[in-house]
């Protein structure tokens, strides 16, 4: 074979190989399943990066980093540990409860391996008859579901006698009830009623002062008050500062079990399905809280305040709704307002009173919404 023919043959073989490789590459690109998977993965990654960037940007606007703040702390809003305080022990139903340092609660005989169901209530607002009927209905449903504790994430009432009435309802239930102040609550009346009714009913726990409650399968950590002082309806109230987020971070780091963060306002989310989506105002949750949840790896949360965004929970992305009864590694719930005043919800429904069930089992959480019909 001449050199010219050899060169032509080699060129032909090379061209054929390139053609085959190109066909294989084109075939792979054209595979619809592979393309769909790649596009979905890219979208998930893009969404996560956008959310993280948005939260970091908004947290930066909200003020200096947590460590740079050192404001005075009001013990009626955010309790502090007292190492000299003697332990207190008492019974709530079948539970043996211990409070140490006037700051931490532990159910001594709780089994971390057993499922834990919480009743979630928020935004009761007033002690009118219709609202009290709603509370009676929810407590009855909680008992049917076998809840171990009730969490009230703020806005209990408007004045002293109403706080007493509302707390009396939960006190009589006999169920361990953990409650915090919201952005509408009047601090002086809230505190006075909490002290008086707490002395009468040992199952009522003011989580403004007791900041951590170890219930076995989960640890409740409270962040009382609200992040934006412009929306404190009864000043001075309890407008929390970044120092209080730092306190939460320390409590979370010391918790032995998965943490459920309880606060009145939700963390900053993204989009129309988020649990902080307010009509016209958009996503109004706390950007620093959203940052804290990611930084401290807080897997679960129960919030309130934004009525129309309630009746659902979101996952780690803070924007996509997690369906009820689906166990999730990350779950953040806004159960909706317990208030009987009709409220148009973002999902198109109309609320006449709502609450939730929050179940923890095997390191995961799921939820269910209760509605007054």
Q: What is the pLDDT of residues 157-173, one digit of tens each?
A: 999 999 999 999 999 99
Phi/psi-derived region of residue 119, left when phi > 0, alpha when psi is between -120 and 50, beta in every other case: beta
Render pLDDT for 155-213 as a digit per residue (tens, 0 to 9). Answer: 999 999 999 999 999 999 999 999 999 999 999 999 999 999 999 999 999 999 999 99
C-alpha to C-alpha distances, 118 to 28, 67, 88, nearest whole angstrom = 50, 33, 23
What is the Cα–Cα distance from 356 to 122, expressed in whole angstroms? 9
State residue 49 phi and psi, 5-degree precision: -65, -40
Give the Cα separation of 221 and 301 in Å (integer): 9
Q: Going by DSSP bridges, is the β-strand pair 354-361/364-371 parallel, antiparallel, or unpaired?
A: antiparallel
Q: Which ranges of the chain does DSSP label H, i.e. alpha helix?
A: 3-30, 32-62, 129-145, 160-173, 187-200, 242-254, 287-295
Count how many Cα atoms sit within 13 Å of the Cα of residue 222 in the half-sphere of its side chain.
Answer: 30
pLDDT band of 36, cuts 50, 70, 90: low
Query: What's the pLDDT score for residue 35?
Result: 65
- pTM of the complete model beyond 0.85: no
């Amino acid at each position: 074979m001449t050199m010219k023919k050899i060169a032509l043959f080699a060129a032909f073989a090379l061209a054929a190989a390139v053609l085959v490789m190109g066909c294989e590459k084109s075939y792979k690109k054209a595979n619809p399943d592979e393309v769909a998977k790649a596009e979905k993965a890219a979208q998930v990654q893009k969404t996560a990066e956008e959310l993280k960037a948005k939260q970091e940007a908004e947290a930066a606007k909200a003020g200096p980093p947590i460590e740079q703040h050192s404001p005075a702390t009001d013990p009626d809003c955010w309790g502090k540990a007292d190492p000299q305080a003697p332990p207190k022990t008492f019974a709530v139903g079948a539970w043996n409860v211990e409070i140490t340092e006037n700051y931490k609660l532990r159910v001594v005989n709780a089994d971390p391996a057993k499922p834990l169901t919480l009743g979630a209530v928020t935004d009761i607002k007033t002690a009118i008859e219709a609202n009290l009927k709603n509370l009676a209905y929810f407590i009855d449903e909680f008992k049917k579901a076998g809840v171990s504790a009730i969490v009230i994430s703020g806005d209990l009432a408007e004045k002293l006698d109403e706080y007493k009435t509302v707390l009396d309802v939960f006190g009589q239930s006999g169920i361990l009830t953990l409650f915090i102040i919201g952005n509408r609550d009047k601090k002086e009346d809230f505190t006075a009623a909490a002290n008086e009714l707490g002395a009468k009913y040992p199952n009522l726990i003011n989580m403004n002062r007791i900041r951590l409650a170890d219930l076995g399968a989960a640890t409740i950590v409270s962040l009382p008050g609200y992040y934006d002082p412009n929306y404190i309806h009864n000043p001075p109230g309890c407008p929390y500062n970044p120092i209080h987020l730092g306190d939460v971070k320390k409590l979370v780091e010391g918790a032995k079990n998965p943490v459920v963060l309880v606060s009145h306002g939700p963390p900053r989310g993204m989009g129309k399905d988020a649990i902080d989506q307010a009509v016209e105002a958009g996503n109004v949750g706390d950007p620093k809280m959203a940052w804290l949840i990611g930084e401290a790896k807080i897997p679960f949360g129960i919030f309130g305040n934004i009525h129309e965004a309630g009746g659902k929970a979101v996952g780690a992305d803070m924007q996509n709704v997690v369906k009820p009864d689906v166990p999730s590694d990350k779950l953040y719930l806004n159960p909706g307002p317990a208030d009987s005043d009709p409220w148009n919800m973002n999902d198109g429904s109309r609320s006449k009173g709502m609450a939730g069930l929050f179940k923890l089992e095997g390191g995961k959480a799921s939820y269910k919404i209760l509605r007054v019909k």
